[in-house]
């Protein structure tokens, strides 16, 4: 499709021109929407949370430089409200994705490796934002570029003492949380199990695009047997994150009570662990494309809150020089692991004006639940 690349050996010039057009188009559309539709007041019928796994301030900066020649140019950087998020785990140490995503999903700090359970503590499940809003009659969805039982996604729809309990996480999805949309890599979620649980199963872009989104209330998109491929390597017959986001919105929008959708750009983190700045940039740009899809959709759905953030920073990335559009910026890396650096957060919609300065990642949950119609903050522990 136009503006996409299927292999790593395309010319830098072609990359620069295509990414420049794509990024500028997305950002320009968003800025126009923001100008003509200021943030409303009231309750949020729909809440969309985007999480760039491992995406710190420097990852965002580097991606804008590569896409357009300037930082500050990704779609979500046009949002009217922004701040930063502290990401430390329950013990005050450097977080992993399980602990940080649990904080956003439940409003509670936990230990690394824990999926939405009160650990340290009683060990009982922590009610997630997905479960809260589902109990209010809203539809729900989870979309990721990793396999769907990976840690970040799992914290919104499962309860396990270990992030590595992948089969149990799959059971939690299909039998308990039952999100209406579950898109990502298919590892540990089989076509048979999903179909038996009442899901329509699609396995490629063609199947996704052929869905009658007006008539499909429960869809499992099982795209490849593991993590989805990196953008720069080409996705073949599989959909891009922006395409999954568009279809998820079309399905969830059928619910008159509204919806909750979490979309993760999961492979930004993997690229940063490997110190592959090119892969990290391409993943971040596609993540920005997915946000732009949601922004265009929100143009006719002003009762919506959109949040864009990260679970943690990966790699200790630091940008040294901007080398222009289509050229990789000069960077250094500080670690192959995660860091304690605060990560960015961008908001547009209901209660977005509450964001300023630096806050705890648990506040993501608090603001989401207070922004939703009929919601009230409660003790996050439940039986």
Q: Which of 26, 71, 75, 97 is catalytic?
A: 97
Reduced to 3 states (helix: H, G, I; strand: E, B; else coil), residue 209 is helix
Please tell me the number of Cα atoms within 13 Å of 161 on its side-chain side: 6
d(CA 248, CA 180): 9
The two structure tokens encoding residue 179? 């999100």
The count of other CB atoms within 10 Å of the CB of residue 353 is 12
DSSP string across 49-106: EEEETB--HHHHHHHHHHHHSSSS-SGGGG-SEEEEEE---TTSS---HHHHHHHHHH
Instruction: Tell me the torsion sign for CA atoms 338, 341, 347, 352.
Output: positive
340 included as an active-site residue: no
Phi, psi angles (nearest 5°) of residue 308: -125, 125
d(CA 56, CA 303): 28
Asked if 66 and 20 touch (Cβ cutoff 8 Å), the reply is no
**Cis peptide, bond prior to residue 243, ω within 30 of zero:** no
CB-based contacts of 379, cutoff 8 Å, min separation 6: none
Asked if 234 and 1 touch (Cβ cutoff 8 Å), the reply is no
CB-based contacts of 170, cutoff 8 Å, min separation 6: 148, 149, 188, 189, 193
Q: How many residues does the chain have?
A: 383
Asked if 140 and 153 touch (Cβ cutoff 8 Å), the reply is no
Residues belonging to the active site = 97
């Amino acid at each position: 499709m136009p503006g996409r690349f299927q292999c790593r050996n395309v010319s830098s010039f072609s990359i620069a021109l295509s990414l420049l057009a794509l990024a500028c188009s997305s950002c320009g559309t968003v800025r126009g929407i923001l100008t003509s539709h200021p943030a409303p007041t009231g309750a949020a019928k729909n809440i969309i949370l985007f999480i760039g796994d491992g995406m710190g301030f420097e990852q965002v900066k580097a991606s804008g430089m590569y896409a357009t020649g300037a930082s500050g140019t990704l779609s979500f950087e046009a949002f009217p409200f922004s701040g930063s998020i502290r990401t430390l785990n329950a013990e005050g140490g450097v977080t992993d994705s399980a602990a940080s995503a649990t904080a956003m999903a439940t409003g509670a700090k936990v230990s690394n490796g824990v999926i939405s359970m009160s650990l340290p503590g009683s060990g009982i499940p922590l009610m997630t934002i997905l479960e809260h809003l589902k109990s209010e009659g809203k539809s729900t969805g989870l979309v990721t570029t990793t396999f769907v039982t990976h840690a970040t996604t799992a914290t919104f729809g499962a309860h396990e003492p270990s992030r590595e309990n992948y089969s149990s996480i799959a059971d939690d999805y299909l039998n308990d949380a039952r999100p209406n949309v579950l898109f990502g890599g298919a590892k540990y979620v089989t076509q048979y199990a999903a179909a038996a649980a009442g899901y329509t199963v699609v396995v490629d872009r063609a199947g996704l695009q052929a869905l009658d989104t007006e008539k499909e209330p429960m869809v499992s998109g099982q795209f490849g047997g593991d993590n989805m491929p990196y953008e720069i390597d080409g996705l073949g017959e599989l959909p891009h994150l922006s395409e999954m986001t568009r279809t998820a919105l079309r399905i969830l929008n059928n619910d008159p009570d509204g919806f909750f959708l979490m979309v993760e750009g999961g492979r930004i983190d993997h690229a940063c662990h490997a110190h592959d700045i090119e892969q990290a940039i391409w993943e971040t740009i596609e993540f920005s494309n997915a946000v732009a899809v949601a922004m265009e959709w929100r143009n006719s759905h002003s009762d919506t809150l959109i949040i864009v953030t990260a679970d943690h920073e990966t790699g200790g990335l630091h940008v040294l020089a901007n080398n222009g559009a289509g050229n990789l910026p000069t960077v250094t890396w500080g670690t192959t692991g995660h860091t304690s650096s605060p990560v960015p957060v961008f908001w547009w919609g209901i209660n977005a004006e509450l964001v300023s300065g630096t806050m705890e990642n648990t506040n993501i949950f608090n603001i989401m639940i207070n922004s939703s119609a009929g919601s009230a903050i409660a003790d996050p522990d439940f039986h």
